[in-house]
Amino acid sequence: MRRYSRNMESRRRWVVLAAGVAGMTAGCAFLYGLPYLLPRLRADGLSLTEAAVLVACPTFGLLATLVLWGALADRYGERGVIALGLGGAGLVLLALLAAHGPVALGVGLVVAGAFAGSVNAASGRLILGWFGPAERGLAMGIRQMAQPLGVAVAAVAVPVLSDSGRNPALAFLAVSCLVTAVLIAVVVRDPARTAGASAGTNGNPYRTPVLWRLHGAGALLVFPQFAVATFGLVFLVDSEHWGAAQAGRLLAVGSFGGAAARLFAGWWSDRAGSRTGPMRILAAITAGVLAILAAGAAGAPDPAGAAEAARGGLAGLAVAALVAAAVVSVSTNGLSFTAVAEYAGPGWAGRALGIHNTGQNGVAAATAPVLGAVVTHAGYPVAFTAAACAAALAVVTVPTLRN
């Protein structure tokens, strides 16, 4: 009977993980897939900078609530927090189908983003409770696959659904959040409070600089990730005159590759006995790939002259580097999340992951409007060079830790 109980618990943790990934995928399709609405928003009369601010609005809401969601998960458990947040986000998105004007749309997206922050802050804590250190990297890698998978879903669906207007795309994102909220409420069970021993310090883990360095490195590595995710599609549309759906399909390939890269990175960290060693190597590779992309972009037409540019192929180097950047730039997220959760321990994991998410999403929110202005005034090569520099700085920021 005892063995049967252990087998049931072993199976349940994978079911919990699968449900968490589904919820995270739906949340990320909304939070990070809105850049695929950029062509529609520009067709509706907004400038690139204005549209970029609008698609960043969910991240502003996310920033305001991540630490709160993490604290609620520490106190009350993960299932209710995630289900409440996804359900609230879905309902707000449905309400936005009746919104008129960019201001109303932006305010609603901020509120929906605030609700959706629950899945980012609390789902990582589930991994800490249900999986031991020898499997935690792989499990967190699977969980972190949800973000590129969500982006891939958005890359395929949003450009097609928004061809005649934004509402079909918003309805799709709303229904996805609502369905997965129900799934989380039915399937997920919170881990025992004694599970998931800490690999870090006793008491307040912020008494040393380790977590701050992990937060800083994670935030720096978000900049190249969102540079590619936000401007990869418009780069292809502006410079190559691709259709939005065609460009979205290409970037979906990169997103699926990014999901596989996160899984591999988690497996690698379990085998290496370190989260930060692989993280440092992948950050260096990201910097190199972004530098190549910047060099390739230098030969592409400037967006200001795109209307007069003859239709011609981007250099194969730029296209290959863009896809490679979409893969490798997302590979480190699971490693930084796992390192933060392990070092903080169960009593602090929700808050620490909330702080980590806040830093990352603060950079993500700034990336779209800042690089939108950079692209408008200086071009894509300068924007991608800045992203490469951020990844290079992360290499020296990552602390050295053993699992």
- Determine the Cα–Cα distance for residues 281 and 391; give it in Å rounded to an integer: 11
**Which residue segments constitute the domains of the chain, with CATH numbers given?**
2-397 (1.20.1250.20)
Residue 313 has a pLDDT of 43
Own/partner contacts of 95-103, CB < 8 Å, gap of 24 or more, are 96/170, 97/167, 97/170, 97/171, 97/174, 102/46, 102/50, 102/54
Residue 309 has a pLDDT of 44
Residue 22: both structure tokens together: 């589904």
Residue 386's pLDDT band (boundaries 50, 70, 90)? very high
Residue 171 has pLDDT above 60, yes or no: yes
**pLDDT above 90: percentage of residues in the chain:** 35
Backbone angles phi, psi at 291, to 5 degrees: -65, -40
Residue 398's pLDDT band (boundaries 50, 70, 90)? very high
244 or 206, higher pLDDT: 206
Residue 131 has a pLDDT of 81
- Determine the Cα–Cα distance for residues 221 and 211; give it in Å rounded to an integer: 15
Residue 10 has pLDDT above 90, yes or no: no
Task: Please report where in the chains the tokens 């808050």 appear, as a residue.
Answer: 351
Residue 258: both structure tokens together: 């990014």
Q: How far apart are the first and last CA of the chain?
A: 33
pLDDT tens, 199-228?
444 578 888 899 999 999 999 999 999 999
Decide: 344 and 352 in contact? Cβ < 8 Å: yes
Residue 109 has pLDDT above 90, yes or no: yes
Residue 282 has pLDDT above 90, yes or no: yes
- Determine the Cα–Cα distance for residues 205 and 200; give it in Å rounded to an integer: 7
Decide: 20 and 188 in contact? Cβ < 8 Å: yes
- Determine the Cα–Cα distance for residues 54 and 106; give it in Å rounded to an integer: 6
Query: Average pLDDT of 182-209?
Result: 71
- Determine the Cα–Cα distance for residues 40 and 32; give it in Å rounded to an integer: 16
Question: How open is the CA angle 255-256-261, to the nearest 5 degrees?
Answer: 90
Residue 24's pLDDT band (boundaries 50, 70, 90)? very high
294 or 347, higher pLDDT: 294
- Determine the Cα–Cα distance for residues 69 and 85; give it in Å rounded to an integer: 9
> Which residues does 14 contact at the CB level (< 8 Å), separation at least 6?
none
Residue 203 Ramachandran class (φ > 0 left, ψ -120 to 50 alpha, else beta)? left
74 or 366, higher pLDDT: 366
Decide: 367 and 231 in contact? Cβ < 8 Å: no
> Which residues does 75 contact at the CB level (< 8 Å), separation at least 6?
none
- Three-state DSSP at 114 gives helix
Residue 248 has a pLDDT of 81
**pLDDT above 70: percentage of residues in the chain:** 90
Residue 312 has pLDDT above 50, yes or no: no
CB count, 10 Å around CB of 271?
12
Residue 58 has pLDDT above 60, yes or no: yes
Residue 56: both structure tokens together: 């960043």
- Determine the Cα–Cα distance for residues 236 and 250; give it in Å rounded to an integer: 10
Query: Average pLDDT of 248-267?
Result: 87
Residue 9's pLDDT band (boundaries 50, 70, 90)? low
> Which residues does 324 contact at the CB level (< 8 Å), separation at least 6?
254, 289, 292
Task: Please report where in the chains the tokens 């605030």 appear, as a residue.
Answer: 114
Residue 285's pLDDT band (boundaries 50, 70, 90)? very high
Query: Average pLDDT of 24-41?
Result: 90
How far is the CA of 127 from the CAs of 94, 169, 189, 350, in angstroms? 31, 31, 12, 11
Residue 230 has a pLDDT of 85
Decide: 37 and 158 in contact? Cβ < 8 Å: yes
Query: Average pLDDT of 282-299?
Result: 91
Residue 23 has a pLDDT of 93
Residue 29 has a pLDDT of 94
